[in-house]
Chains A and B, each alone.
Chain A
Amino acid sequence: MSDMIVLEVEGLEKHYRNFSLSVSFRLASGEVLGVVGPNGAGKTTLIHCMLGIVKRDGGRVRFFGLDMDQHEVEIKQRMGFFLEEAPLFRRMRASDVLKFFASFYPRWDWRLANKMIQQFELDVDKKVGELSKGMRAKLGLVTALSHRPELVILDEPTAGLDPGMRREFVQVVRELRRDFSPTILLTSHIMADIEDLAERIAFLREGEVALIESKTRLLSSWRRLRGRCQDVRQLNPGDWVAIEHDHASGEVHVVTNRWSPALIDRVREAGLTDPEVCALNLEEIYGYVIGARGREFEAPPAIRTESASE
């Protein structure tokens, strides 16, 4: 992964009556950034604002160092996109859709397109509306990747796909990375996709980036310490992402996003006996960051936002 910044989103803002999006992040060349968040968090709005489908109210979006407002065509020729639910033209034949897309990309590679068509067993003589959801998603991938884009934007590409198709999709993206290592921005609310593909993860919550961190760092810095405690009030809520008390078993779980072995002594001092350290998976981390869990303690999440340049 080189240090060249492929995508720079600076103070992007979009306001609706009931929802506001305010986002900043950077994406380095060759990186795979997964954007996760619950429904309505603003993932699709973010993609639409970046692609110019929806006009943003403020901020700046730069691709490959170029301003999107001034170099729209040039930028879009270098990127591929897959929109949510692959809204391709339902009354057109798949082959015509491919021909249509090919006419916009000077670097369109029919050999690569045909390879994918063969691999996906895609019937290009059928109209898009006659294809199954999975096949439409595959056609969407062919249109997104056949010009070997430097940046690929995938918006919920596996939503509604069965597990087999999902696995196939993950495999295709992996092969693609081996083939020409594009930078990928992937949104999903399926954590397994993100876990499989992303190197860095941005958690989007109510239109804002709650946390952006590398996957390795997330998995190494988030821990749950489990033990028993006589007085939970001795554990300062400000020090932890969450403190969970299971009244039935008497067990107390404290969650940290700044794990270091020294924390064991700290919880011991706070009265937690025989602390056991457990690693958290991304699904669990997602739950804490998005706020679905640990809310009853009203612990201010000790979360910081970092940029790619750091």
Chain B
Amino acid sequence: MRLYDPGAEERQEGSPCGGRESKISSPGDSNVERAALKAVIKKYVLYDHFFRRAYLVLVAQMSAILLVFTALFIVKKSPAVYLLLISTGVWLGVGLGAPLIVAGAIQREKAEGSFRTLRALPLRAETLFLGTILGGVIASILALVPPYLIATMGLMVLRSWDVMLLQIRAGWAVLLMSFLFASASLTVALCVNSPAVIVNMIVGFSTLVTVLALSQTLLDVRPFSEEELLHLARFLLSLEGQALISAIVVVLSGVILYMGSRIFSRQKSYV
């Protein structure tokens, strides 16, 4: 048996020991909301062993892969743009993987029954929803840092300054994708209680994408010409294009979050 001593900081905050006057929140108390939000983020990102282990393995594995590739590129003096392509793939892997691990943790809690403890705590359903999404987004951003730094260092060694400019835009794009993916995947994980429904959703979505891809060939839709593709690529890489895409992704994520939050707070059961 070991006595738990959370330290002076908590004792100061815990009013009867610290001597500070205790305070019960009034509706809309922003400090209470902030503290609850922080606690939910910390719960998933810091305290949850399942998340920590899976997350660290993902980041370490992907960073190691990128490190090996970067070393090969430096040794072989290969074109830096390919390093950027590989790095983007790795960033996407960690950026999309991190929210998936949080989603896994949520589904596991639902299966174990501990998710209902979260709903019994003094926090609003909306705060729980937002805190979990923010946890996923923060996990995504933190996961991107090591592979991004590795790629940056590789490009610096290769002295590819023009590719480094592209790297900033690619990094931003991955960040936006991660935000969109975190919003969508965590909304599904929070709002859907049955793993069977999630499996059906994934299968349904994959089928839809396949059908759309096939229908292009079957319906004989004219593909983009090389000139049109170049025009599109130039627009996407321009400041205006990036701003437009950023705005679309942010608005789309916002819509998903708004709808998700409404669905989550109106759920009939959190068991």
* B-binding residues in A (CB < 8 A): 48, 51-55, 70-78, 81, 83, 85, 87-114, 117-118, 121-125, 127, 148
Contacts and interface: CB of A to CB of B under 8 A. Distances in A.
Contact of A73 (B32, B51, B267): B32
A108 B14 contact: yes
Contact of A111 (B16, B26, B43): B16
Interface of B: 1-6, 10-11, 13-17, 22-27, 29, 32, 35-36, 38-39, 42-43, 46-51, 105, 108-109, 112-114, 116-117, 119-125, 266-271
Given A85-B113, A89-B48, A104-B123, 5 more contacts: A54-B269, A77-B25, A103-B35, A110-B17, A127-B49
A55 B124 CA distance: 14
Given A87-B113, A90-B112, A110-B10, A73 B4 contact: no
Q: Would you list the 5 A-B pairs with minimal beta carbon distance, nearest first? A: A76-B122, A103-B39, A87-B113, A96-B47, A124-B4
B24 A101 contact: no
A94 B271 CA distance: 22
B116 A74 contact: no
By CB atoms of chain A within 10 A, which of B51, B120, B124 has the most? Answer: B120
Contact of A74 (B16, B25, B269): B25
Contacts of A91: 48-51, 105, 108
A162 B266 CA distance: 40
A33 B24 CA distance: 25
A75 B24 CA distance: 9
B24 A74 contact: yes
A98 B14 CA distance: 12
Nearest to A118: B3
A83 B117 contact: yes
21 contacts: A51-B119, A53-B271, A54-B268, A73-B123, A73-B124, A75-B122, A77-B24, A83-B117, A83-B120, A89-B43, A89-B47, A89-B48, A90-B114, A92-B49, A95-B6, A102-B6, A106-B25, A107-B15, A108-B13, A110-B11, A110-B14
A134 to B, nearest CB: 14
B124 A102 contact: no
A73 B30 CA distance: 12
A127 B48 CA distance: 10
B4 A117 contact: yes
Nearest to B46: A96
Nearest to B112: A90
Contacts of B119: 51-53
A154 to B, nearest CB: 12
A70 B27 contact: yes
Contacts of B11: 110
Contact of A78 (B4, B24, B27, B43): B24
B48 A76 contact: no
B115 to A, nearest CB: 8
Contact of A105 (B51, B117, B122, B266): B122
Contacts of A77: 24-25, 122
A113 B26 contact: no
Contacts of A99: 6, 10, 47
A118 B2 CA distance: 8
A118 B50 CA distance: 28
Given A106-B24, A110-B10, A148-B16, A54 B271 contact: yes
Given A87-B117, A99-B10, A107-B22, A114 B3 contact: yes
A108 to B, nearest CB: 5
Contacts of B49: 91-93, 127
B120 A114 contact: no
Given A72-B124, A89-B117, A48 B39 contact: no
A67 B24 CA distance: 16
A91 B105 CA distance: 10
A250 B5 CA distance: 67
A53 B48 contact: no
A118 B116 CA distance: 28
Nearest to B115: A87
B2 A124 contact: yes
Contacts of B42: 100, 103
Contacts of A78: 24
A103 B117 CA distance: 14
Contacts of A73: 25, 27, 29, 32, 36, 122-124
